[in-house]
Chains A and B, each alone.
Chain A
Amino acid sequence: MSTSTAFDEARAEDRAALVGYLPAGFPDVAGSIEALRTMVDAGCDVIEVGLPYSDPVMDGPIIQRAVQQALDTGFRVDDVFRVVEAVAATGTPTLVMTSWNPIERRGVDRFAQQVQDAGGAGLITPDITPDFAEEWIAAADARDLDKVFLVSPSSTDERIAMTTSHCRGFVYATGIMGVTGTKQATAEGVAPLIARTKATTDLPVGVGVGVSTRAQAADLSAHADAVIVGSAFVRTLLDHSDDTGAGLRALARLTEDLAAGVRRA
């Protein structure tokens, strides 16, 4: 199930898609499934399931805290496929967002097969670029899995063209120069990168890193095909760590708020 169906639907409604992220195994495996299903019910069009890894480079302090908690409570890589399976069963396209080493360790082909078997749409790979991902590109192509690579404000036009030529599903444009959950992306700041990216591809372009509010979602949806939110969801759960019900209700409210944002409502 490619993410393209979700983008087609959003486009038909003349709006951006809302992509929501949480790490698998946070607060625990069952809890992450429940939280992600809550986000689906409240209006996320695409789900990113994070794979907790000991040494993430692109994650800021909020996601690091959640990931560390997942690892400390015994997260295993196989858990990510359980979460994907449970979320994809809702019919919402579901991707895995992961650092590279857990893929390489398992075996790239085997990892890709497990994503497919779980009903996953593909992978977002934030710490590897297509020029070093030959094996993953081949494994994804053999299964029609989405390959989502990142472009950055610092990318040259040549590298953007190279990157988008290897993407399937959508292209992930980083809204800021920085890691997740630290600075706020602005439509003005990210518009040039979106324009440079769109000049090279017909694929949808999503903006993530530095996006957390309804107002940002509304502003960014004038330029981007998707708005990607991670740290804000994680923070919501962290803020309610002593009350699961309240956490899920707050998560639903934030999702509805952001969903209204992408509709510029």
Chain B
Amino acid sequence: MTTHPERTTTFDADEQGWFGGPAGFGGRFMPEALVAALDELTVAWQEAMADPTFVAEFEAILRDYAGIPSPLYFAERLSDKVGARILLKREDLNHTGAHKIRNVLGQALLTKRMGKSRVIAETGAGQHGVASATAAAYFGLDCTVYMGSVDTRRQALNVARMNLLGAKVVAVDSGSATLKDAINEALRDWVASVDHTAYLFGTAAGPHPFPTMVREFCRGIGDEARAQSIEQYGGLPDVIAACVGGGSNAIGLFTAFLDDPDVAIYGFEAGGDGYETGRHAATIRAGERGVLHGARTFVLQDEDGQTIESHSISAGLDYPGVGPQHSYLADIGRATYEPVTDAEAMDAMALLARTEGIIPAIESAHALAGALRIAPEHQGQTILVNLSGRGDKDMGTALEYFKLGEPDETEGQA
């Protein structure tokens, strides 16, 4: 149901972590100080995935603790509006409110197995930080979360959640004081603490084995959705869609369908203020090949190779890099990646709330907005959208954006 190490695709990385060979994407561009730890992690993870006890334990925790598998829901009223059948993979219903719990429970279970006592994590908006703090509490591990100081101010509620769960939150002031800098600071911690500390990387990016390992912990999304689509709705979807920041929910969905050539695959990146404004996080569309955080991938960078800051209303997509497998899938044309603007995403958020009574995370609203954009080309077909998270965390943004919370004017009060 969730983990199928034996089920490979024709789009996997080689042993060095290259997608498409050394001229392609991925690899492991890391200080020598971390190579031994990455090698140890690779071996431990592969052994764990080949161990039925580990796999069974992981599945049991996902089921009993995190509420997984999540349902695949036919959004009938929304479908009527757009003329295509929209199926929603309800990852928003998982414990902690997003697909990310899959990854952290997998990595934390592996950390226990490896005998390490402490975990570190980076976080942007705080979702991966909250998930990591949750998994650390569940497994009795010390937890330190690095978060850009710009984000600790924007997301005070998530800082409070992490604190309540017993994690230490370190505000990062270096660089642009956002997600990419939190990753740098977590890597610096890891260089000094690697003997007893595991780095719970939050997305399917970074050095090998993280892009593949995080994908495998998240691939239940697609494995479940594929089986649910066949069982409940009579066949495979025609199109699948997910939002892409680092890309863990997207690759978690895509993997099960990569070798289904009739299924069209769409990733929707954060278009911010609009691709043409330069204020966006559309890494695949606008980035150039480069190396960031340990992998060769598309990177938003200037002509000197300095990282350019990304912009998105959605903190979870606000990252100037992207998982290397997405760069590969884009490069060979197996998946199509398009930007979705802040405004399109917010419209989709409101539409889903009003037609289906579901408030999606703004990240997930990008996937929905993209699906709605391509729906006219797929009339009568089935579009499966990964609703990767719920929107509770985004109410502050929504309040400001939609000017909510002001009482409606009463009629007749002349």
Contact = CB atoms under 8 A, between A and B. Distances in A.
Interface of A: 53-61, 64, 68, 71, 76-77, 100-106, 126-129, 131-132, 134, 149-156, 159, 163, 174, 176-179, 182-183
A105 B292 CA distance: 11
Interface string B280-311: 00000000111111001001010111110000
Nearest to A159: B35
A55 B22 CA distance: 23
A131 B30 CA distance: 11
B37 interface: yes
Given A132-B28, A163-B32, 7 more contacts: A53-B305, A129-B30, A131-B16, A132-B27, A152-B31, A154-B32, A183-B192
Interface residues of B, number: 38
A152 B33 contact: yes
Given A55-B180, A101-B305, A102-B304, A155 B299 contact: no
B117 interface: no
Given A104-B291, A105-B304, A132 B184 contact: no
A160 B301 CA distance: 33
A152 B33 CA distance: 5
Contacts of A179: 188, 191-192
A55 B288 CA distance: 16
Contacts of A152: 31-33, 36
B175 A105 contact: no
B292 A127 contact: no
Given A56-B184, A57-B191, A104 B35 contact: no
B18 to A, nearest CB: 10
Contacts of A163: 32
Interface of B: 16, 22, 27-37, 174-175, 180-181, 184, 187-188, 191-192, 194-195, 288-293, 296, 299, 301, 303-307
Given A55-B293, A105-B301, A174 B184 contact: no
Nearest to A135: B22
Contacts of B29: 100, 127-128, 132
11 contacts: A101-B291, A101-B307, A102-B304, A105-B290, A126-B31, A129-B28, A131-B16, A154-B34, A155-B32, A163-B32, A179-B192
B175 A54 contact: yes
Nearest to A71: B306
Nearest to B302: A105
A57 B304 contact: no
A206 B45 CA distance: 35
A233 to B, nearest CB: 20
A77 B32 contact: no
A72 to B, nearest CB: 11
A154 B33 contact: yes
Given A61-B174, A155-B32, A159-B36, A102 B305 contact: yes
Given A60-B188, A77-B305, A177-B194, A129 B35 contact: yes
B31 A101 contact: no
B168 to A, nearest CB: 18
Contacts of A76: 304
B32 A101 contact: no
Contacts of A64: 174-175
Contacts of A177: 33, 191-192, 194-195
A159 B305 CA distance: 29
Nearest to A76: B304
A18 to B, nearest CB: 23
Contacts of A134: 22
Contacts of A53: 305-306
